[in-house]
Amino acid sequence: MKTADVRRRYLDFFTRNGHTEVPSAPLVYNDPTLLFVNAGMVPFKPYFTGAEDPPFKRAVSVQKCVRTLDIEEVGKTTRHGTFFQMNGNFAFGDYFKAGAIEYAWELVTGSQADGNYGFDPDKVWVTVYLDDDEAAALWRGVGVPDERIQRRGLKDNYWHMGIPGPGGPCSEIYIDRGPAFGPDGGPIVDEDRFLEIWNLVFQTEELSAVRAKDDFDVLGPLPSKNIDTGMGLERTALLLQDVSNMYEIDEIFPVITAAAEMAGTRYGRDQQDDIRLRVVGDHVRSALMLMTDGVTPGNEARGYVLRRLLRRSIRSMRLLGVHDPVLPTLLPISKGLMEVSYPEVAAQWQRVSQSAYGEEDAFRRTLASGTQIFDVAVAAAQRENSSVLAGDKAFQLHDTYGFPIDLTLEMASEAGLEVDQQQFRTLMQEQKDRAKADARAKKGGAVNVEAYRTLRSSGETPFLGFTELTVESPVRGIVADGRLVDVARPGDVVEVVLDETPFYAEAGGQDADQGVITANGLELDVLDVQRPIQGLVVHKVLVNEGELTPGQSVIAQVDAPGRFAASQAHTSTHIVNAALRQMLGQGTHQAGSYNKPGYLRFDFNASQALSPAMRSELEGIVNAAIRDDFAVTDRELPLDEAKALGAQAMFGEKYGNVVRMVELAGPWSRELCGGTHVRSTAQIGLVNLLGEQSVGSGIRRVEALVSADAFAKFAAERALVAGLADTLKTQPEQLPDRVEKLLAQLKAAEKQIEQYRSKELLAGAGGLAAKVTDAGGVRLVAEQVSGVSGGDLRTLALEVRSALGGEPAVVALVGGGDKPVLAVATNEAARAKGAKAGQLVGVGAVELGGRGGGKDDFAQGGGSNAAGAAAALNAIRTAVAAL
């Protein structure tokens, strides 16, 4: 049974049983506590925590997930995968333990002819929480004998999110794979033979503090009993396909087969090679799915995880002996496998493939530069007569330069060295500990929502700001330091919830409104507006005058000019988005935006920079759309209908069944958007494009000024032109010719100065050549020359080399000032004796606190330690003498 069929059967089974099918959320999800969606219940978390009212009593989904904590275990076990899919059925105050167990038993053991999975009932084992007699009795009732029901403690059979929120005992379903996979005795004895496929969580309790998996405080019972289950799709598929591990299922194994063919090997021949091939199969698929959902390779957060996956794939293929590009062969295979279940893979393919192949090219260059840095470290170890490469050097190569530790180990072995792996692992663990501490800090700052939930229980905060900028409303509640309070006095900064509001809460890249909240004797400055939980608008305010109390009637008034300017900027981002898609193709999509009064920033995917002509074209299209006075309209409609009309959506944004679609001239621009806009594009006036730049691999950014700020920028530029024309005694239209002539004169003067400098350098070359010494049969000039750097140092080194004649000769010069520069030149006779400039400059650059590289005949480097000049030259002298 193919994996896609396993997935479809799960969805069909539960929809037949009254569950609403919910599409998978993107892997990049709008949750501050998560890097990626890592569990099937994540999109439903607001319903479990009470932050939102569920729109259905029963739901079913197959959720895309990524977990990276066990990335180093990928390929080594049967069940560790970076990307995986989680089948889940959910009930919110509807059926409970009996329903969940009966559904699970029917789907797992029912006949395949009836749409079930058809597992042998005699091979099914289950676990329940220690004192959950009810669940044990229910399992006996469907046919599981007592000897195949095992009880386990909190660590194994109690589930929570790792943060305050819902929790409860759980029951897990295992399939016995037979004695070939391990000893008998059930899951408590061996979880390789007895493979868990499904976890049924019975949510009953609200946790107030979570310190560990089995260490938490219970606040009290949940308002309703909920069901949250998770069935591992890949684990279920490997059993139904009768393969040994998840890497051999039909959605992964074809990539492994192709990788083995490229490497000239066969899967199953060598254990170490098999691990590398499984890493390739898993990581290529994981990278494909992350990139499809909008992640691009980078050096931080999500982008770093993706970059690591891609580079581990390439690294593994290199260790298998493949040094040519591999992604153009392997990634399309994974695409063909995954687009069956996820059509978005095909829709985003052009963007994904361009970014992936560009990342591979960049990494191949990193490997080349990393090799040079590695050579410097090896030279330093050899100079100290050490057989060990320091662990901090290996960590620097890994962490700073992206050079994989496996390659470092391999190359060190070839050089006759060992790597201090203990020090390397210590440094890696310290880095992981810092990352975990940061993640815990983020979680801790995002979970105290009890006061908000209390206020939300009275209903949503209607946003009236699309039509009203002044609204009279009662104060629903006041929050200070996460707690509800009864009063706020002058000087206090608190959060205020109104029954209804005209203030726009920051969202969709648009800044929050500012303004005031007033009443008789009361004045509050609105500093910020947010939605900490769905449906609740919270105003951060400074109390200037009077006392604020719950129930008090106030007047909320938005700063009208600021709102209008923000609307101008927001509509302008829609115009920029449409213009870029018109220029670059429909595969172009928004990767982020920010707008505030007078300014916009828009990020988009692109494989290369916009040329000056393209930037001019973009600005022209945008301002033409403003001049043509397109009508800006909005309407609410079902999500599927909006998508069918071509409405653009943001990756990671959460949309309900009914969405708001903003249109500019109808189909010219259609986007799902909850922000505020002008009524027609002519109200914007003008957009002045400031520039375009890269903000990550495959992501570009344009910035622009809007309306009055754009006019002011043009006025300032006009004044600048007028001032330059006056200074240069010419007309504005003649400035280009005048500046060109001045540049030509400057260039001629610089050329003449350069000729004088060259003569002076050449005159000094003879004096340096006279300082030649013998180093093991090689004529060596190793000197420090003050006031010479850059191209001059190169010229001097080459001239001295020429002056030394045809006998073996090496020239090493240190110049520069506070940041020393090192140049090394060798002649043909010296190179025949093994004197390579690239290696020698690396030896010297270490003493300068830097690095360097180049060819065998000439190389250059530098650093920050000027005091190390003498040591650098001595190190080179020692290395030359040892040839």
589 is in an annotated binding site: no
How far is Cα 317 from Cα 255, in angstroms, rounded to an integer? 12
Amino acid identity for residue 457 in this structure = S
How far is Cα 432 from Cα 418, in angstroms, rounded to an integer? 24
Examine the pLDDT at 771 and tell me if it is beyond 70.
yes
Structure tokens at 718: 């006009």
Examine the pLDDT at 631 and tell me if it is beyond 50.
yes
Sheet of 687-696, strands arranged across: 590-596, 599-605, 699-706, 687-696
Residue written as token pair 């090689």: 778
Residue 179: pLDDT band with limits 50, 70, 90: very high
Sheet of 632-638, strands arranged across: 632-638, 658-664, 669-672
How far is Cα 8 from Cα 104, in angstroms, rounded to an integer? 16
Residue 657: pLDDT band with limits 50, 70, 90: confident
How far is Cα 97 from Cα 200, in angstroms, rounded to an integer? 8
% the chain with pLDDT above 90? 60
Around Cβ 353, how many Cβ atoms within 10 Å? Answer: 18
Average pLDDT of the chain is 89
Higher pLDDT, 390 or 442: 390
Please say whether the dihedral angle defined by the alpha carbons of residues 44, 48, 51 and 56, taken in this order, is positive or negative: positive
Work out the average pLDDT over 174-197: 94
What residues contact 417, with CB distance under 8 A and at least 6 apart? 378, 381, 386, 387, 388, 389
673 is in an annotated binding site: yes
Examine the pLDDT at 91 and tell me if it is beyond 90.
yes
SS3 content of the chain, % helix, strand, coil (to 5): 45, 25, 30
Ranking 104-118, 239-253, 594-608, 785-799 by mean pLDDT, the lowest is 785-799
Ranking 120-134, 144-158, 203-217 by mean pLDDT, the lowest is 203-217
User: Phi first, then psi: what are they for 63, rounded to 5°?
Assistant: -100, 130
Work out the average pLDDT over 3-21: 96
* CA 658 to the chain's CA centroid: 29
Examine the pLDDT at 32 and tell me if it is beyond 70.
no
The predicted-structure confidence for 572-596, as pLDDT tens digits, reads as follows 999 999 999 999 988 788 888 999 9
The per-type count for the chain, helices as H runs and strands as E runs, is 25, 31
Residue 446: pLDDT band with limits 50, 70, 90: very low
The predicted-structure confidence for 489-519, as pLDDT tens digits, reads as follows 999 999 999 999 999 999 888 999 999 999 9
Work out the average pLDDT over 25-48: 83
Work out the average pLDDT over 688-717: 89
Three-class SS of residue 354? helix
Examine the pLDDT at 757 and tell me if it is beyond 80.
no
Higher pLDDT, 819 or 780: 780
User: Phi first, then psi: what are they for 502, rounded to 5°?
Assistant: -95, -5
Ranking 619-628, 704-713, 733-742, 763-772 by mean pLDDT, the lowest is 763-772
Higher pLDDT, 68 or 215: 215
**Of 240, 198, 3, 249, the residue nearest 112 (C-alpha):** 240
Work out the average pLDDT over 696-722: 89
Residue 402: pLDDT band with limits 50, 70, 90: low
Examine the pLDDT at 438 and tell me if it is beyond 70.
no
Determine contact, residues 656/639, Cβ cutoff 8 Å.
Answer: yes
574 is in an annotated binding site: yes
How far is Cα 396 from Cα 755, in angstroms, rounded to an integer? 43
Work out the average pLDDT over 812-840: 91
Whole-number pLDDT of residue 796: 87
Whole-number pLDDT of residue 447: 43
The predicted-structure confidence for 455-500, as pLDDT tens digits, reads as follows 998 899 999 999 999 999 999 999 998 899 999 999 999 999 999 9
Whole-number pLDDT of residue 520: 93
Residue 400: pLDDT band with limits 50, 70, 90: low
Residue written as token pair 């900027």: 569
Determine contact, residues 297/698, Cβ cutoff 8 Å.
Answer: yes
323 is in an annotated binding site: no
Determine contact, residues 634/647, Cβ cutoff 8 Å.
Answer: no
The predicted-structure confidence for 669-693, as pLDDT tens digits, reads as follows 999 999 999 999 999 999 999 999 8
What residues contact 432, with CB distance under 8 A and at least 6 apart? none
Whole-number pLDDT of residue 445: 39
3-state SS, one letter per residue, for 228-280: EEEEEHHHHHHHHCCCCCHHHCCCCHHHHHHHHHHHCCCCCCCHHHHHHHHHH
Its pTM stands at 0.65
Higher pLDDT, 267 or 45: 267
Torsion-angle region of residue 728: left (phi > 0), alpha (psi -120 to 50) or beta? alpha
CA separation (Å) from 860 to 73, 350, 790, 820, 833? 41, 40, 9, 11, 20
Determine contact, residues 568/684, Cβ cutoff 8 Å.
Answer: yes
What residues contact 187, with CB distance under 8 A and at least 6 apart? 125, 127, 150, 152, 172, 174, 194, 196
Determine contact, residues 782/877, Cβ cutoff 8 Å.
Answer: yes
